[in-house]
Structure 1
């Protein structure tokens, strides 16, 4: 049976278009310094950009599953990019946004419900799981492109910092989601290649995988090692700790507008 969806099933949702519109307006506000509160404009940009990336993450899972053989995807509304259609809207959208606000961590969200029995072939199953975090990798590459393309001349400082912080969130989401922990996409990538017995033994732990990862990140040594790795990757992309630090400070607008020193070659370690 052909892996297709009707035009209505694949029509982009007005909810998603509204999110994109909010992101576009907030980009303009940050770039032009239009808002009386630059931190609030950065907050809107980062949160709307983050939710858009979550929608694309889930869409990537769904679209790959559709082409893998799960023709039920379209009827569930997953191809519309509407976050309200996801089976775990709380896990996919609300909790990740809360964790971004609380600690600046790009927490992976819950996945769309995929009827795995319709998909044949281990490679297809692995690709369905990998498609989501690969979208975060691509999103990180796009938002960090002005840095690694050395195209920051003329870019307002606040916009630079917002991009740097959003790149950090995308990178943390991609790496955390690729961990081979039950319940995360990384485990979904390797699960088809495991024995049936081992999969049955691991299955009861899947609901607690994300909680366990978050718990480990609260351990100071683990947290420092993780973010040292993130910072090293970002530096390779041209995004400095200066960029991500002030991006997060602006993001937390409720703490007041930070007194950011002028950006100089000394500041960013060049």
Structure 2
């Protein structure tokens, strides 16, 4: 099976490189406490890092689809990591960023168009859907590593909080996107194993899955249970709830910061 694509179709986009540069510069500003407004630096660092993870999430879907038989992926621009090439930039970038800003919830939306007819084998279809959330799992491991490795000596407080909040986003993204809800990757994993009739009945609801999950999380009782579980998982990895709270508090720099966090 050939997976050859034109060099121009896999050249990293200047847009992605620009976002990565914002992440690097703002991360340096947080680490060195260079910025006059540390909250703004944390906001830029976390947002840029989150968008980078979204781009890599979609890239993982595309790359796996390419090696599974969909050679049209390259021409669509998905291998360039350019977020403007996604089928629905609103679902893949704009809404996930808004979810973070408004509620501190990491929830990527799938928006790369894969020509499933080119791919044979249910396991391949499942792996394509799983590739994106597994990227978030990898990001979560990287973000939490300094905590569970007890390697935080010398890490500036603001950077520690930013990492903790990023870890929260990646863990929530991993778990929520693996839910077997139509429109999310978790459903894409099990969909190939469902009967044709069930898939046809569920298909019309796929466009509402992302909004339904986000809406449920605004119900206080659901939100409490969900985030209690998330914080319990993070706690087992050495990331305290106070770290993630202070990270989100610093991220929303336009609001009055909590003095106990020591950032702002």
TM-score (norm 1): 0.95
- Which residue does the alignment assign to 1:110? 110
8 Å CA contact 1:104–1:169 kept in 2: the answer is: yes
Q: Which deviates the most, 168-177 or 3-12?
A: 3-12
8 Å CA contact 1:42–1:250 kept in 2: the answer is: yes
CA root-mean-square deviation: 1.2
8 Å CA contact 2:110–2:185 kept in 1: the answer is: no
8 Å CA contact 1:40–1:251 kept in 2: the answer is: yes
For these two proteins, the number of residue pairs brought into alignment is 263
Matches of 1:144 and 1:45 in 2, distance apart? 16
8 Å CA contact 2:246–2:261 kept in 1: the answer is: no
Matches of 1:256 and 1:221 in 2, distance apart? 26
Matches of 2:32 and 2:137 in 1, distance apart? 28
- Which residue does the alignment assign to 2:51? 51
8 Å CA contact 1:68–1:119 kept in 2: the answer is: yes
The 1:261–1:204 alpha-carbon spacing in structure 2 relative to 1, beyond 3 Å, is closer
Secondary structure at the counterpart of residue 259 of structure 2: coil
- Which residue does the alignment assign to 1:267? none
8 Å CA contact 2:133–2:174 kept in 1: the answer is: yes
8 Å CA contact 2:109–2:210 kept in 1: the answer is: no
Matches of 2:151 and 2:169 in 1, distance apart? 21
- Which residue does the alignment assign to 1:219? 219
Matches of 1:36 and 1:239 in 2, distance apart? 27
Q: CA deviation at 1:260?
A: 2.9
Q: CA deviation at 1:261?
A: 4.8
Secondary structure at the counterpart of residue 245 of structure 1: helix
Secondary structure at the counterpart of residue 9 of structure 2: coil
8 Å CA contact 1:22–1:44 kept in 2: the answer is: yes
Matches of 1:146 and 1:45 in 2, distance apart? 17
- Runs of 4+ aligned residues of structure 1 deviating over 6 Å after TM superposition are none
- Which residue does the alignment assign to 1:165? 165
Matches of 2:220 and 2:13 in 1, distance apart? 41
| 1:66-92 deviations in Å (ceiling 9; x for gaps) | 000000000000000000111110110
- Which residue does the alignment assign to 2:228? 228
Q: Gaps spanning 5+ residues in structure 1: where?
A: 264-270
Q: CA deviation at 1:258?
A: 3.5
- Which residue does the alignment assign to 1:247? 247
TM-score (norm 2): 0.97
The 1:261–1:226 alpha-carbon spacing in structure 2 relative to 1, beyond 3 Å, is closer
Matches of 1:126 and 1:22 in 2, distance apart? 34
8 Å CA contact 1:38–1:257 kept in 2: the answer is: no
The 1:252–1:128 alpha-carbon spacing in structure 2 relative to 1, beyond 3 Å, is same
Q: Gaps spanning 5+ residues in structure 2: where?
A: none
| 1:197-224 deviations in Å (ceiling 9; x for gaps) | 1111111111111111112111211111
- Which residue does the alignment assign to 2:145? 145
- Which residue does the alignment assign to 1:205? 205
Secondary structure at the counterpart of residue 253 of structure 1: coil
Matches of 2:146 and 2:107 in 1, distance apart? 24
Q: CA deviation at 1:257?
A: 4.3
Matches of 2:113 and 2:261 in 1, distance apart? 47
1:31 aligns with 2:31: yes
- Which residue does the alignment assign to 2:127? 127
